[in-house]
Amino acid sequence: MMRKLRIPKIVPDYKNREKIILRDFLALERTTLANERTLFAYIRTSLYLILGGIAFLKMESLQTIQWLAYLSFGISFLMIIYGLIRYFKLKRKLQKFYDEDSMKPFEEEQKEEGE
């Protein structure tokens, strides 16, 4: 049985003990959107590397540096994997703040203001 390699934590996970207010909720939304934008940037960069690799393979005058095309494909693959891992790690961390217990006070406050 293989054991999973665990990286020791330098600081403990943050636990929210206070009522979430509108400013905090909006900050979480901005962070979520920034996380999505970053994932799309990784995907875009990965696609450009694939296109560059295809161009190197198709150009007959660049046969001497054809290895660069394969390197580009490899870096593209690693970049998309890294982007996805990073996206899902941050999404999981942000999800802790979106659980029902911490969002309830904010939702109740919004209902009171709406009435």
Domain assignment present for residue 25? The answer is no
Domain assignment present for residue 100? The answer is yes
Domain assignment present for residue 3? The answer is no
What's the CA gap between 25 and 14, in Å, rounded? 16
Domain assignment present for residue 89? The answer is yes
pLDDT at position 114 over 70: no
- pLDDT, position 111: 63
What's the CA gap between 43 and 81, in Å, rounded? 9
What's the CA gap between 50 and 65, in Å, rounded? 16
Domain assignment present for residue 4? The answer is no
Containing 108, the helix (H) or strand (E) segment is helix 100-114
- Cα–Cα distances (Å) from 12 to 9, 15, 76, 95, in that order, read 7, 9, 33, 17
Domain assignment present for residue 37? The answer is yes
Domain that holds residue 58: 32-114
| Residue whose entry in the numeric block shows the structure tokens 């990073």 | 86
pTM for this model (two decimals) = 0.68
Domain assignment present for residue 97? The answer is yes
Higher pLDDT, 107 or 51: 51
Other CB atoms within 10 Å distance of the CB of residue 104: 12
Domain assignment present for residue 11? The answer is no
Read off the pLDDT of residues 82-100 as tens digits, 9 standing for 90 and up. Answer: 999 999 999 988 887 777 5
Tally of domains within the chain: 1
